[in-house]
């Protein structure tokens, strides 16, 4: 037995032994994730066969570093229920791939199976959760962690090793098409959710100790690759992959908590954008010095899809691009050609072998850590767990869908009375795909309930009508759709109207080599590479809104959306407005349950909701500058502030007090929340801090902590937040991490100020 095959040895020893045995080409093969996974197989009925393309690629690399998207099914991959991998056969296909790779690798090195899981596995039969922008409104990291744990179990039963999950992007400009993938605008909140996702997927797989110094536990594990490092949501103009002109202070203060939050992740994916002109994929300061040296990250760095090929615009050649990326700290490619030409880079600079060895060692270390060498295949007993996992996932998903929604207007019509005639109208009534977001697989009818069907048990009678399209009207049909909607509404006692947008992809669309839409098409107005200059709803939707309002029936608007649209016309006309975001498969049922009072709306906005495109940006932690905050033609304030949201019950927050512990270097802030209404419900409590006495412009306020409490009607609960002194620092004029002179803490309308004169914080 070779040392690398001995599971009792520390991972570091096994990696070093294996690396010393590898040829240069085998090393190059390990840092490549070049092949699209769905190109690895063909399906004939229920039988699967490996393709020559897959076999040739394995032979080229003397094995396979990683395989992306083996189970991916969507219009880009062209995989459908007819030619894709059914969930029940996933383990069989994964084992087939893995067995071939191991037996055709001279040293028996297994491959990493990598899959998209931004809001559920992008595969046939998988559970589709709310997108991150909706999840963030729950202020419930514990529930998000529970759902991540269930996703990990689902993936493990299928034979997946790495899940790609977006958590690091911030929603600074909602014109950006990928807004739906963010956990909102708050760095603190996004960091909390990132840690929840990592812990949910991985448990305690990586701790502060160096995992290389310990033997692998020989069990199969799931690792998560967190996306995207870093600043993608700050791109100028909301352009996807646009330039990010942030200075060092802003990057460190805003994104520092996020970089710190991924310390225990198995992997991180670099972002397409640059920071101050330096592409993230070529940024050694970011990928090595900040990520690894300062934050002690131990995992691998993965490139985003074809991002390394984009470096050739700077370098002029694939060899130079490979040298730049390897030196910066990119360990594993994704679909690009650049890393397939590392041999050319080595010929030009043999000293690059050191960087290549470092990257290969990280890839191998992750494979040992996840148990691939010791348990490379999915056992029949593990694969058999999938149905029970899916059932449990649907239950958690239903809870998360409810918590993800935010009520922003209610003039007394909600909750709706039951056993009355209800009209369900709107462009989202026709297709579940408009509720799911980007990165979504084909759906089977038994995976969801339509909004119309979800409303039926609550109503004596339900009629439904499309009313309009989302964006692109059909001249011969528009007036007929409006007439049908008007008739349906007129015959009902109340109207539920869906408006908003869609990230749905269709099989007749054209895609780039990284899966993004090549050009906007049809009614798809959100998602990767679908950016908007104007956040207004379409003219057809606004016409539908006015027609329904003119019927005089109580009007409840449900906004199904992956970004905030200009909803001023909606708020002016509707009797109630529920922001549902993209709530996933359980979304339509959650909407019905909320509107009819089966449950209460508890979501709170994780963004500052803009009035219009022209006033952007409006995020709450901008610096306190002596500026004219308003425009001549519009207020500069957001339409709805961060944390806004209504409930069926009423709340009072009172009795805020604080104490500081000099020895423990932390402040305890205590506040009481009272449910003074008639409904049992939950309330997210948000603790903000406002700094004064600084050497640079302070921020208007900063979110320091959150706590979600569940309180029965008529009861109250006292909550204590504990904030370490290090959370109250900022970067001064000399780029030192220091305390301000004063901090004002606030929860709701309760405030207290503390002086930091006697605090002691170690300078960074």
Query: Does a cis peptide bond (omega within 30 degrees of 0) precede residue 540?
Result: no
Instruction: Dig out the tokens for 508 from the structure.
Output: 């007749």
Nearest to 260 by CA among 208, 223, 319, 322: 208
Between 218 and 35, name the one with better pLDDT: 35
Distance CA 215, CA 374 (A): 11
Contact 560, 580 (CB under 8 A): yes
Where does the chain hold its CATH 3.20.20.300 domain(s)?
3-386
* Tens digit of each residue's pLDDT (9 = 90 or more) over 128-156: 999 999 999 999 999 999 999 999 999 99
pLDDT at 521: 81
Angle between helices 248-261 and 187-202 (to 10 degrees): 30
Residues in Cβ contact with 174 at an 8 Å cutoff, skipping those fewer than 6 apart: 238, 535, 563, 564, 607, 610, 616
Torsion, Cα of 381, 382, 388, 390 (10° steps): -150
Fold (CATH) for 405-615: Rossmann fold (3.40.50)
Which tops the pLDDT comparison, 582 or 756? 582
pLDDT (tens digit, 9 = 90+) per residue, 580-589? Answer: 999 999 999 9
Q: Do β-strands 742-747 and 66-68 pair in parallel, antiparallel, or remain unpaired?
A: unpaired
Phi, psi of 392, rounded to the nearest 5 degrees: -65, -35
Residue 566 DSSP label: B
* Helix (H/G/I), strand (E/B), else coil: 58: helix
- Which helix (H) or strand (E) segment holds residue 397: the answer is helix 386-403
Residue limits of CATH 3.40.50.1700 in the chain: 405-615
Which architecture characterizes domain 651-755 according to CATH? Sandwich (2.60)
Place of tokens 């390394």: 308
Please determine, for residue 651, whether its predicted confidence score (pLDDT) is greater than 60: yes
Write a three-state SS string for 663-690.
Answer: CCCEEEEEEEEEECCCCCEEEEEEEEEE
Structure tokens of 558? 């449900």
What pLDDT band is residue 763 in, cutting at 50, 70 and 90? very low
Question: Among 623, 522, 537, 617, which Cα is nearest to 574's?
Answer: 537
CB-based contact 508:449 (threshold 8 Å): no
SS3 57: helix
Helix (H) or strand (E) holding 135: helix 132-136
> Percentages helix, strand, coil for the chain, rounded to the nearest 5?
35, 20, 45
Summarised one tens digit per residue, pLDDT across range 658-704 is: 999 888 899 999 999 999 999 999 999 999 999 999 999 999 999 99
| CA 595, chain centre distance (Å) | 27
pLDDT (0 to 100) of residue 662 = 85
- Of 581, 207, 524, the closest CA to residue 402 belongs to 581
Which of 171, 173, 92 minimizes the C-alpha distance to 135? 171
Asked whether the predicted pLDDT for residue 648 surpasses 50, the reply is yes
Average pLDDT for residues 445-474, to the nearest whole number? 94
pTM as predicted: 0.96
Task: Tell me how far apart the terminal alpha carbons of the chain are, to the nearest angstrom.
Answer: 47
d(Cα 141, Cα 708) in Å, to the nearest integer?
9
d(CA 483, CA 109) in angstroms, rounded, equals 64
CA atoms in the 13 A half-sphere facing the CB of 588: 25
Please give the DSSP secondary-structure letter assigned to residue 522: T
Q: What is the mean pLDDT of the chain?
A: 96
pLDDT (0 to 100) of residue 758: 59
**Can you give the pLDDT at residue 764?**
40
Mean pLDDT of 213-231: 94
Q: Is the pLDDT of residue 477 over 80?
A: no
Closest CA to 160 of 7, 43, 37, 60: 37
435 pLDDT exceeds 90? Answer: yes
| The pLDDT value given to residue 760 | 58
Task: Report, as an integer, the average pLDDT of 66-77.
Answer: 98
Q: Is 589 exposed, middle or buried (0-12, 13-18, 19+ CB in 10 A)?
A: buried
Judge whether 463 and 491 are in contact, CB under 8 Å. Answer: yes
Nearest to 467, CA basis, from 445, 449, 489, 442: 489
Among 20-24, 218-222, 315-319, name the one with the lowest average pLDDT.
218-222
The topology (CATH level 3) of 3-386 is TIM Barrel (3.20.20)
- Residue 464 in 3-state DSSP? strand
Over pLDDT 90: what percentage of the chain?
A: 93
Helix 386-403 to helix 587-595 angle (10° resolution) is 40
Give the C-alpha separation, 535 to 435, whole Å. 19
Beta bridge partners of 744: 690, 753
Q: Are 742 and 725 in contact (CB under 8 A)?
A: no
């Amino acid at each position: 037995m070779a040392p690398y095959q001995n599971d009792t040895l520390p991972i570091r020893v096994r990696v070093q032994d294996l690396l010393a045995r590898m040829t240069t080409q085998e090393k190059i093969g390990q840092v490549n994730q070049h092949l699209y996974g769905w190109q690895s197989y063909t399906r004939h009925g229920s039988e699967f066969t490996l393709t020559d393309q897959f076999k040739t690629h394995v032979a080229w690399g003397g094995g396979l570093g990683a395989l992306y998207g083996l189970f991916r099914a969507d219009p880009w991959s062209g995989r459908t229920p007819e030619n894709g991998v059914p969930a029940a056969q996933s383990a069989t296909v994964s084992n087939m791939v893995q067995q071939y790779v191991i037996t055709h690798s001279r040293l028996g090195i297994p491959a990493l199976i990598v899959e998209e899981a931004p809001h559920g596995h992008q595969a046939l039969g998988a559970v589709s959760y709310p997108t991150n922008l909706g999840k963030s409104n729950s202020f419930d990291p514990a529930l998000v962690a529970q759902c991540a744990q269930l996703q990990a179990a689902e993936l493990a039963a299928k034979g997946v090793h790495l899940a790609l999950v977006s958590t690091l992007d911030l929603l600074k400009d909602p014109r950006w098409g990928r807004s739906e993938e963010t956990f909102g605008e708050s760095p603190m909140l996004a960091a909390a959710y990132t840690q929840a996702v990592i812990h949910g997927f991985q448990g305690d797989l990586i701790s502060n100790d160096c995992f290389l110094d310990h033997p692998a536990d020989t069990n199969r594990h799931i690792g998560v690759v967190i996306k995207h490092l870093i600043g993608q949501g700050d791109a100028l103009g909301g352009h996807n992959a646009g330039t990010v002109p942030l200075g060092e202070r802003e990057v460190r203060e805003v994104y520092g908590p996020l970089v710190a939050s991924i310390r225990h992740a198995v992997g991180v994916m670099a972002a397409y954008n640059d920071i101050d002109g330096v592409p993230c994929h070529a940024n050694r300061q970011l990928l090595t010095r900040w990520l690894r040296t300062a934050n002690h990250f131990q995992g691998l760095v993965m490139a985003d899809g074809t991002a390394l090929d984009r470096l050739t615009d700077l370098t002029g050649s694939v060899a130079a691009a490979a040298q730049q990326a390897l030196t910066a700290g990119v360990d594993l490619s994704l679909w690009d050609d650049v890393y397939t030409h590392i041999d050319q880079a080595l010929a030009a600079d043999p000293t690059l072998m050191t960087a290549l060895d470092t990257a290969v060692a990280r890839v191998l270390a992750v494979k040992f850590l996840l148990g691939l060498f010791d348990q490379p295949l999915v056992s029949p007993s593990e694969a058999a767990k999938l149905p029970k996992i899916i059932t449990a996932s649907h239950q958690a998903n239903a809870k998360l869908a409810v918590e993800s929604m935010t009520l922003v207007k209610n003039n007394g019509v909600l909750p709706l009375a039951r056993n009355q005639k209800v009209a369900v109208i709107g462009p989202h009534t026709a297709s579940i795909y408009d509720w799911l977001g980007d990165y979504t697989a084909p759906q089977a009818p038994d995976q969801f309930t339509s909004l119309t069907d979800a409303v039926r048990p609550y109503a004596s009678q339900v009629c439904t009508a499309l009313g309009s399209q989302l964006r692109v009207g059909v001249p011969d049909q528009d007036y007929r759709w409006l007439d049908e909607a008007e008739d349906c509404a007129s015959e009902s006692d109340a109207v539920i109207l869906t408006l908003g947008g869609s990230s749905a992809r269709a099989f007749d669309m054209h895609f780039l080599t990284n899966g993004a839409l090549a050009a906007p098409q049809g009614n798809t107005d959100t998602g990767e590479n679908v950016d908007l200059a104007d956040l207004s709803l379409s003219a057809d939707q606004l016409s539908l809104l006015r027609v329904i309002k003119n019927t005089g029936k109580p009007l409840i608007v449900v906004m199904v959306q992956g970004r905030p649209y200009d909803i001023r016309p909606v708020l002016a006309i509707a009797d109630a407005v529920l922001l549902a975001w993209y709530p996933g498969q359980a979304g339509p049922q959650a909407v019905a349950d909320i509107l009819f009072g089966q449950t209460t709306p508890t979501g709170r906005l994780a963004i500052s909701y803009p009035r219009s495109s022209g006033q952007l940006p409006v995020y709450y932690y901008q610096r306190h500058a002596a500026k004219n905050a308003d425009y001549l033609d519009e207020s500069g304030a957001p339409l709805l502030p961060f944390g806004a949201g209504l409930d069926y019950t009423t709340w009072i927050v009172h009795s805020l007090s604080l104490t500081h512990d000099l020895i423990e270097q932390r402040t305890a802030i205590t506040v009481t929340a009272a449910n003074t209404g008639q409904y049992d419900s939950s309330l997210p409590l948000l603790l903000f801090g406002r700094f004064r006495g600084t050497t640079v412009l302070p921020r208007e306020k900063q979110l320091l902590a959150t706590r979600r409490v569940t309180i029965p009607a008529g009861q109250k609960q006292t909550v204590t937040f504990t904030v370490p002194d290090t959370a109250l620092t900022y970067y001064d004029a000399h780029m030192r991490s220091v305390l301000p002179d004063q901090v004002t803490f606030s929860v709701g309308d309760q405030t207290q100020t503390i002086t930091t004169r006697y605090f002691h914080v170690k300078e960074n």
